[in-house]
Structures are given as C-alpha cells and as structure tokens.
Amino acid sequence: GQQLNQSPQSMFIQEGEDVSMNCTSSSIFNTWLWYKQEPGEGPVLLIALYKAGELTSNGRLTAQFGITRKDSFLNISASIPSDVGIYFCAGSNFGNEKLTFGTGTRLTIIP
C-alpha cells in the first residue's frame, strides 16, 4: 500500500524554536490530516484540511494543504516541552474509508 513521505524523520530543537515539517505524496488527496502521538499513547488529531491552498491554525500550530493536493506542511511556533512526540500526516479521498499515513516526524526538545 501507498505511504506518504514525511520529512524530516526526526528533529532535535531547543525550546522556543519554530518547527517545520512536511508530507509529500505521489497521488492527490482531498483531505489532509495531522496527528500527534505522545509517548505511550495513540495518535490524536491536531488539524484537518479540506481544500487545496487552505491554511488552518490551532493555537501555535499552523498547517497548509498544498496547492497541488500532493503535499501538506505543519509548522509549530515557539516550541514548548509538551510538543514532544511523533507527528503523522494522513491523507484521504472522498468515499474512501481508509487513511494513508506518513512515516512520522519525531520531535525532541532539548532543554
């Protein structure tokens, strides 16, 4: 099955820095989702994007639905220790029950 490519695979940043990660696909999606997984837990939805070019914010998080519909970006501003975790992108198409997940970006914050 298809998987989405996420980059970077891992990030080590200092508290207060901004974070950028992206997700690319060889095929288009109608919906992009971003999930966060904290250690020992299941993924939790952060942001959902439904329209090409859409820019959506959730607190310090901002995500964009790429204009080609083959990519998406997630930015975190002024990172804090609780931002630690693995961030997954996921894509889906109308009428398809399945989500296709990215390989994940592991974020570590250095005190």
**List of residues contacting another protein (CB under 8 A):** 1, 3-4, 6, 9, 31, 33, 35, 40-45, 48, 88, 92, 97-99, 101-104
Least spacing, CB of residue 56 vs another protein, in Å: 14
* 8 cis-preceded (ω within 30 degrees of 0): yes
Least spacing, CB of residue 14 vs another protein, in Å: 24
Least spacing, CB of residue 42 vs another protein, in Å: 3
Residue in 107, 109, 81, 85 with CA at minimum distance from that of residue 21: 107
Q: Which CB, 42 or 59, lies closer to another protein?
A: 42
Q: Which CB, 1 or 81, lies closer to another protein?
A: 1
20 to each of 12, 74, 93, 105, how far by Cα in Å?
A: 12, 6, 25, 10
* Residue 46 to residue 89: CA distance in whole angstroms: 10
